Amino acid sequence: MRARPLVWLARAVPVAGIAAAAAVIPTVLIVATAGQRVVIAPVVHVVVVGAAGALAAAAAIALSLIAGRLNDGRAVLLGTAFAVMATMLVVHALATPGALVGRNGLMQLAGALNIPAGAAILAASALPALDGRPHHGSRSWIPLGVVAALAVAGAIALMEPGRVPPVPRPGSALAQLVFAVGAGALTLLAWRAGRTHLLTRRISDLLVTVGLVWLIVAQYGLLHYGMTDLPWWVAHGLEVASIGLIGMPAALDLRYGVASRPLVGDLRAVDLVTDEEAFLGGRVRALMLRLAANDPSTEGHTRRVAALAVQIGERLGLAERWLRLLALGGLLHDMGKLALPTDILNKPGPLSDEEYSLVRRHPGRGRELLAELGGFAPLVLRLVEGHHERLDASGYPHGRAAGDLELEVRILMVADIYDALTDDRVYRPAWPPWQAFELLDSYAGNALDRGCVEALHDVLSPASTPGMTHAEPRGAPTLPPRRPRRGLSE
């Protein structure tokens, strides 16, 4: 227990370093321009800010509609957040005093609330209720409805903008409160994005982190300065740039799909594994690349296991939505090995008791990594954590029995064992298929689900896979003990 604060600190420091580095440029710009006054024609504010907001709103609506068609609640919220910020930015521009209307408080109100409102919606995308499973309905119209409501409210307010009080006034207590709320939500999002970047090393994740930090600084400038202050204009530029930094990577990820996108057309579940970037999202692709750089053998193993698992699932009649989550769980089931030393993963001889104890922790570490990233369905986390459990409670890490193991978990454990046995390992050569099946059959109905083992037989039968045979050759080697030193699936 004493080590937990140190672990948390070790995780927090790198993210804090990224955030601090990202905050340098915008902070320097705000500080360097503080106290400087500027007079810019109101029409410039209307044209520049209004055009940026209109383009961002159109892109956000398109993003949301695509997400709605995919029935992905988190992606819909993502698009809605950008649509809200962009629409309020347009209202803010149109309310510029001296351009289309006179002195009013609408410009201050819309400009002060657009970032906190968008940040709150973005933060809500992490709610457990949005578990990544597809939901049918009219979600695709949510962003359109929100934007339409804001547009109508803005139009009504623009008819008599003088009636809108100029709140919160720059630097007031209310402005401080609004800043605290928005900055809190953005900090949470930046933390998640920073952790993702540290794990995936994707430039897009770094850009999102930078954009979120810039939004915090931009919000400060907009809430603490007025239109005649140069930092206020600097903050506007940071705001528009931030929306681009956050929105473009998100749009690219959505283009390739997200975890809850339903299967369509003639797409088979195994295609999710062969092209995970297009169908399971860029984040999964980045995780697989990270695993390949750390241990190419494990990365190849996870791909084969995922392909076998979804084929078994198809054979057992799983619905497409569960096949998709099974594909995700199969691809990510060994992510916990990123936390293991490579000398243990590549050790050619037997493992010591201490080394084997470390290996047995990788299912739990994998779940922790994915849970920290967020956005993965609960079933995916259970697949990652439970792929070494056994029906007779002889597995690890928790020794759960049959009643606690879902069918998808039972499928994954069978696929994992078969591929581990038939793959060359540094500590033993690959077993022939007949030998692996003999071991699986001996455990069927006890440690392993008999139906899953039989389905694997069907999937890899000669009729299904040309050239495949389970016939026992002459002089076949004797089977090793049922509980080899590295475990049944090691």
Give me the CATH number covering residue 432: 1.10.3210.10
Residues 165 and 204 occupy one common structural domain: yes
pLDDT tops 50 at residue 485: no
Instruction: Give, in degrees to the nearest 5, the angle at Cα 489 between 486 and 490.
Output: 35
pLDDT tops 60 at residue 149: yes
Residue 141 lies in a domain: yes
Q: Tell the residue number behind the tokens 């008819």, with chain if given.
A: 159
Residues 298 and 220 occupy one common structural domain: no
Residues 239 and 275 occupy one common structural domain: no
SS3 54: helix
Q: What was the pLDDT predicted at 10? A: 57
Q: What was the pLDDT predicted at 478? A: 32
Residues 229 and 364 occupy one common structural domain: no
DSSP string, 89-129: HHHHHHT-BTTTB-S-SHHHHHHHHHHHHHHHHHHHTT-TT
Say which residues have a Cβ less than 8 Å from residue 382's Cβ, sequence separation at least 6.
Answer: 329, 406, 408, 409
Low-confidence winner among 51-55, 162-166, 345-349 (lowest mean pLDDT): 345-349
pLDDT tops 70 at residue 122: yes
Residue 239 lies in a domain: yes
pLDDT (mean) for 335-356: 81
Residues 319 and 340 occupy one common structural domain: yes
Residues 380 and 304 occupy one common structural domain: yes
Mean pLDDT, rounded, of the chain: 80
Distance of alpha carbon 439 from alpha carbon 480, whole angstroms: 9
Residues 250 and 279 occupy one common structural domain: no
pLDDT in tens, 87-108: 888 898 899 888 888 888 888 8
Q: What was the pLDDT predicted at 407? A: 94
Max mean pLDDT range (49-63, 389-403, 470-484): 389-403
SS3 6: helix
Residues 250 and 283 occupy one common structural domain: no
- Sort residue 406 into left (φ over 0), alpha (ψ -120 to 50) or beta: beta
Q: What was the pLDDT predicted at 344? A: 78
SS3 361: coil
Distance of alpha carbon 319 from alpha carbon 185, whole angstroms: 37
Question: CB atoms < 10 A from the CB of 244, how many?
Answer: 15
pLDDT in tens, 467-483: 343 333 323 333 333 33
Residue 334 lies in a domain: yes
Tokens of 237: 């530029």
Rg (C-alpha) for the chain, rounded Å, is 27
Residue 481 lies in a domain: no
Q: Tell the residue number behind the tokens 């990820």, with chain if given.
A: 253
Query: What residues make up the domain containing 220?
Result: 3-256
pLDDT tops 60 at residue 261: no
Residues 281 and 389 occupy one common structural domain: yes
Task: Name the pLDDT band for 234 (thresholds 50, 70, 90).
Answer: very high
Residue 203 lies in a domain: yes
| Residue scoring higher pLDDT (305 or 193) | 305
Residues 186 and 240 occupy one common structural domain: yes
Domain count of the fold of the chain: 2
Q: What was the pLDDT predicted at 470? A: 39
| Residue scoring higher pLDDT (143 or 325) | 325
Tokens of 350: 């037997």
Residue 430 lies in a domain: yes
Q: What percent of the chain has pLDDT over 90?
A: 31
Q: What was the pLDDT predicted at 3? A: 40
Residue 197 lies in a domain: yes
Tokens of 318: 């799983």
Residues 216 and 96 occupy one common structural domain: yes
Of 256, 290, 319, the one marking the end of a domain is: 256
pLDDT in tens, 368-378: 999 988 889 89
Are 96 and 107 in contact, with CB atoms under 8 Å apart?
A: yes
Residue 475 lies in a domain: no
Q: What was the pLDDT predicted at 259? A: 36
Distance of alpha carbon 432 from alpha carbon 427, whole angstroms: 16
Tokens of 221: 């400038």
Q: What was the pLDDT predicted at 432? A: 93
pLDDT in tens, 288-321: 888 888 888 888 999 999 999 999 998 998 877 7
Of 223, 256, 289, the one marking the end of a domain is: 256
Residues 156 and 290 occupy one common structural domain: no
- Residues in a beta bridge with 401: 392
Tell me what percent of the chain is helix, strand and coil, each rounded to the nearest 5: 70, 0, 30
Of 228, 256, 284, the one marking the end of a domain is: 256
Distance of alpha carbon 136 from alpha carbon 420, whole angstroms: 38
Helix axes 73-94, 42-69, angle to 10 degrees: 160
